[in-house]
C-alpha cells in the first residue's frame, strides 16, 4: 500500500517544492508570507455596496450537534464563536441549515424555520460579538447562512436510518442509500414546494440579520443532484436549462420576498463516480455500465475526469441572476471524500486515500482558478486547503496575489485552529501544534453518531466524554 509523505515534515520552501515536484502535484505557492495591511490576504474586497475586510473565508462546517428541533446547542455556539474570532471576514454559510425539519441530513442538523428563528439569531449574534471583541469592527464582516435540503442523503429522524428523497434513480448511489423503488423520487410539485421552503427560510435569514444565503448546490445534496438529473423527465431534468430551474426559481422567490438579501451559491463544480474500498482497502472508482458516466456534474464522462463546460455555463447562469458570491468545492463526502476534503487518514470505515492528498488539494484549487480565469467577474472562494497545513498561508497568498481566487476558505482548519487567519494577517508565527493534520477524526465521529469537532488538537474536545470512543475507533 502506498505511503504518502507528511506535510509537517516539509519544513522549508525548497523541501515543499521538491515534494510537489516529485509527486507531480501542480500547485504554486509563495516562499514568504507577507503580513500587515499591505499584504495580499489583508486586502479588502468590494461586493456591491459591502466591503469585506480581508481574503480569508470560513467554510460551512457542521457539528452534528443541534438539538432535536434543529436549534443550536452550546457546542454549535462555541463553534460559531470561534468562526467569529478567526479573523476571517467572510463566513460562507456557517453550516448547513435545513429549510424544513424533515430535510435534514442528520437528526442533529440545524433548521431555520419560525420555531428556531430566535435561536439562530442568537447564534449569529454570538459570532458577530466574538468578532467585535477581537477585531476593530464587524462593519466589514459578511456572514451568510447555508440553506440546505439533504435530498439523497436525508436522515431527519434517526442517525442510522437513511430516508432519501431523490431526483432520479441512480445506478450506483441508489444502493448506497437504500433506494429500491421509485417512491423516494420527488415529483415536480414536491420540488416546487421545496422552492417555497428555501424562499421562506431566506426571508427568515434576512430578518435575523444574515447578509446572504448560500443556496447549497454541493456535496450530493438536493441542489447538487439537480445538476446531474440528466435523465429526469419533466421541467427539472434533462436540459441544462431544466437542471438549473430549481436555482432560478429559488433566486426569483428570494428577490421578490427578501429584497436586499445577497445570494451566494456553493457548488460542487466537478464530481466523480462513487469510490469504494478495493485491494488493501485503497479507494477505487466503482464500475458503471456503458461507455459514458453521465451523472457527474462537471465530469468528462469517464467517471474520474473533469470537463468544465457545464460549470462555466453554471457561472454564466449565476451572473445572469446577479449572483457573484460563489464557493467552489467538488464531489461528495459520502461517496468520494478524497476529492472534497483531501486527507492522509480516511474516516474509520471508509476507503483509504487513492492518491497523494495534495493532488486532491491541487485539483480543487486548479478548478477554481480555471473558472476564475474564464469567468473573472464572479467572486470565488476556494475550498479544500486544510491539508496544506503549514503551507496553507503560502498557497493562499499566491492564489489571491495572482488573482486565481478572491477568498481562501478554511474548513477543517477552522475547527482545529480558527485563529490561523488572524495570526497570518498579524505576522505572528503559526501555532504548529494546532494545525489540522487531516486525521479525519472530525468525520469519523459523526459517522459513528458522535458530535464533530477537532479531537486531535482542540483541548475542549479532548476533554469530552466522546474522546475515548473516537480514539478507540481510530485505533481499531
Ligand atoms: C466536520 C465537517 C463538517 C462539514 N460541514 C459542511 C456543511 O455543513 N456544509 C458544506 O457545504 N460543507 C461542509 N463540509 C465541507 C467543508 O466545508 C469543506 O469543503 C471541506 O472540509 C474541505 O475544506 P478543508 O480542506 O478546508 O477542510 C464539512 C466538512 C467537515 C470535515
Q: One digit per residue, pLDDT tens: the chain, 476 residues?
A: 678 999 999 999 999 999 999 999 999 999 999 999 999 999 999 999 999 999 999 999 999 999 999 999 999 999 999 999 999 999 999 999 999 999 999 999 999 999 999 999 999 999 999 999 999 899 999 999 999 999 999 999 999 999 999 999 999 999 999 999 999 999 999 999 999 999 999 999 999 999 999 999 999 999 999 999 999 999 999 999 999 999 999 999 999 999 999 999 999 999 999 999 999 999 999 999 999 999 999 999 999 999 999 999 999 999 999 999 999 999 999 999 999 999 999 998 899 999 999 999 999 999 999 999 999 999 999 999 999 999 999 999 999 999 999 999 999 999 999 999 999 999 999 999 999 999 999 999 999 999 999 999 999 999 999 999 999 999 88
**Contact present, 150 and 110 (Cβ < 8 Å):** no
Tell me how far the alpha carbon of residue 417 lies from the centroid of ligand 1, in angstroms.
15
**Contact present, 372 and 20 (Cβ < 8 Å):** no
* pLDDT computed for residue 153 by the predictor: 98
Alpha-carbon gap, residue 453 to 460, rounded angstroms: 9
**Contact present, 147 and 223 (Cβ < 8 Å):** no
Q: Which atom of ligand 1 is nearest to the CA of 216?
A: 11
Q: Could you give the dihedral angle defined by the CA atoms of residues 60, 65, 66 and 72, in that order, rounded to the nearest 10 degrees?
A: -70
Please name the residue that has the C-alpha cell 501544534.
433
Alpha-carbon gap, residue 200 to 205, rounded angstroms: 9
* Residue from 56, 60, 221, 445 to probe ligand 1 pocket by mutation (most atoms less than 8 Å from CB): 60
Q: Is 245 in the pocket of ligand 1 (CB under 6 A)?
A: no
Q: Is 384 in the pocket of ligand 1 (CB under 6 A)?
A: yes
Tell me how far the alpha carbon of residue 467 lies from the centroid of ligand 1, in angstroms.
21
The string of DSSP letters for 438-462 reads ---HHHHHHHTT---S-TTT-HHHH
Q: Is 266 in the pocket of ligand 1 (CB under 6 A)?
A: yes
Tell me how far the alpha carbon of residue 338 lies from the centroid of ligand 1, in angstroms.
12
- What is the helix (H) or strand (E) element at residue 405, kind and residue range? none
State pTM to two decimals.
0.98
Q: Which atom of ligand 1 is nearest to the CA of 446?
A: 1
Alpha-carbon gap, residue 401 to 95, rounded angstroms: 28
- Residue 286: name the closest of 298, 294, 299, 277 by CA: 277
Alpha-carbon gap, residue 103 to 87, rounded angstroms: 32
Task: State whether residue 142 is helix, strand or coil.
Answer: strand
- Residue 265: name the closest of 222, 310, 305, 212 by CA: 212
Q: Is 443 in the pocket of ligand 1 (CB under 6 A)?
A: yes
Alpha-carbon gap, residue 201 to 222, rounded angstroms: 16
Q: Is 244 in the pocket of ligand 1 (CB under 6 A)?
A: no
Across-strand partners of 408?
Answer: 56, 382
- Give the pairing of strands 50-52 and 45-47: antiparallel
* pLDDT computed for residue 1 by the predictor: 65
Q: Which atom of ligand 1 is nearest to the CA of 341?
A: 22
Residue 120: CB partners within 8 Å, gap ≥ 6? 71, 72, 97, 110, 112, 145, 204, 205, 208
Tell me how far the alpha carbon of residue 291 lies from the centroid of ligand 1, in angstroms.
32
Q: Is 339 in the pocket of ligand 1 (CB under 6 A)?
A: no
- 122 burial type by CB count under 10 A (0-12 exposed, 13-18 middle, 19+ buried): middle
Alpha helices by DSSP H, 298-356: 309-320
* pLDDT computed for residue 136 by the predictor: 86
Task: State whether residue 98 is helix, strand or coil.
Answer: strand
Q: Is 106 in the pocket of ligand 1 (CB under 6 A)?
A: no
Q: Is 437 in the pocket of ligand 1 (CB under 6 A)?
A: no
Alpha-carbon gap, residue 220 to 124, rounded angstroms: 26
* pLDDT computed for residue 209 by the predictor: 98
* pLDDT computed for residue 452 by the predictor: 97
Nearest CA to ligand 1 atom 25: 384
Q: Is 413 in the pocket of ligand 1 (CB under 6 A)?
A: yes
Task: State whether residue 20 is helix, strand or coil.
Answer: helix
Q: Is 410 in the pocket of ligand 1 (CB under 6 A)?
A: yes
Alpha-carbon gap, residue 371 to 324, rounded angstroms: 13
Q: Which atom of ligand 1 is nearest to the CA of 148?
A: 9
Amino acid at each position: 500500500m502506498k505511503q504518502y509523505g507528511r506535510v509537517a515534515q516539509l519544513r522549508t520552501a525548497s523541501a515543499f517544492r521538491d515534494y510537489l515536484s516529485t509527486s507531480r502535484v501542480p500547485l504554486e505557492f509563495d516562499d514568504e508570507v507577507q503580513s500587515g495591511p499591505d499584504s495580499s490576504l489583508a486586502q479588502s474586497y468590494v461586493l456591491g455596496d459591502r466591503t469585506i475586510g480581508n481574503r480569508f473565508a470560513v467554510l460551512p462546517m457542521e457539528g452534528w450537534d443541534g438539538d432535536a428541533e434543529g436549534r443550536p446547542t452550546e457546542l454549535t455556539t462555541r463553534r460559531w464563536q470561534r468562526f467569529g474570532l478567526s479573523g476571517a471576514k467572510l463566513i460562507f454559510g456557517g453550516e448547513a441549515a435545513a429549510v424544513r425539519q424533515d430535510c435534514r441530513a442528520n437528526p442533529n442538523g440545524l433548521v431555520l424555520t419560525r420555531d428556531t428563528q430566535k435561536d439562530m439569531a442568537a447564534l449569529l449574534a454570538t459570532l458577530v460579538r466574538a468578532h467585535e471583541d477581537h477585531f476593530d469592527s464587524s462593519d466589514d464582516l459578511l456572514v451568510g447562512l447555508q440553506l440546505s435540503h439533504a435530498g439523497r442523503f436525508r436522515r431527519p429522524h434517526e442517525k442510522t436510518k437513511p430516508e432519501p428523497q431523490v431526483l432520479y434513480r441512480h445506478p450506483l448511489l441508489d444502493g448506497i442509500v437504500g433506494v429500491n423503488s421509485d417512491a423516494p423520487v420527488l415529483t415536480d410539485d414536491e420540488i416546487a414546494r421545496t422552492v417555497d421552503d428555501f424562499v421562506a427560510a431566506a426571508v427568515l435569514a434576512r430578518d435575523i440579520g444574515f447578509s446572504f444565503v448560500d443556496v447549497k448546490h454541493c456535496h450530493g445534496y438536493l441542489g447538487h443532484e439537480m445538476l446531474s438529473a440528466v435523465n429526469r423527465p419533466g421541467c427539472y431534468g434533462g436540459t441544462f436549462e431544466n437542471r438549473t430551474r430549481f436555482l432560478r426559481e429559488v433566486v426569483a422567490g428570494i428577490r421578490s420576498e427578501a429584497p436586499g438579501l445577497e445570494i451566494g451559491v456553493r457548488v460542487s463544480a466537478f464530481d466523480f463516480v462513487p469510490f469504494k474500498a478495493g485491494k488493501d482497502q485503497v479507494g477505487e472508482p466503482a464500475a458503471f455500465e456503458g461507455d459514458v458516466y453521465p451523472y457527474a456534474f462537471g465530469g468528462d464522462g469517464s467517471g474520474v475526469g473533469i470537463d468544465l463546460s457545464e460549470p462555466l455555463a453554471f457561472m454564466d447562469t449565476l451572473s445572469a441572476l446577479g449572483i457573484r458570491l460563489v464557493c467552489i468545492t467538488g464531489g461528495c463526502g459520502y461517496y468520494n471524500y478524497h476529492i472534497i476534503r483531501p486527507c492522509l487518514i480516511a474516516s474509520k470505515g471508509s476507503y483509504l486515500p487513492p492518491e497523494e492528498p495534495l493532488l486532491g488539494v491541487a485539483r480543487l484549487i486548479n478548478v477554481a482558478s480555471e473558472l476564475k480565469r474564464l469567468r473573472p467577474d464572479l467572486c470565488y472562494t476556494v475550498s479544500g486547503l486544510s491539508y496544506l497545513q503549514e503551507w496553507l498561508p503560502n498557497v493562499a497568498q499566491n492564489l489571491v496575489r495572482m488573482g486565481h481566487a478572491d477568498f481562501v476558505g478554511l474548513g477543517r482548519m477552522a475547527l482545529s485552529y480558527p485563529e490561523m487567519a488572524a495570526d497570518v494577517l498579524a505576522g505572528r508565527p503559526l501555532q504548529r501544534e494546532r494545525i489540522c493534520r487531516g486525521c479525519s477524526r472530525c468525520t469519523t465521529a459523526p459517522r459513528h453518531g458522535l458530535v464533530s469537532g477537532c479531537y486531535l488538537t482542540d483541548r475542549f474536545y479532548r476533554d469530552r466524554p466522546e474522546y475515548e470512543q473516537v480514539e478507540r475507533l481510530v485505533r481499531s
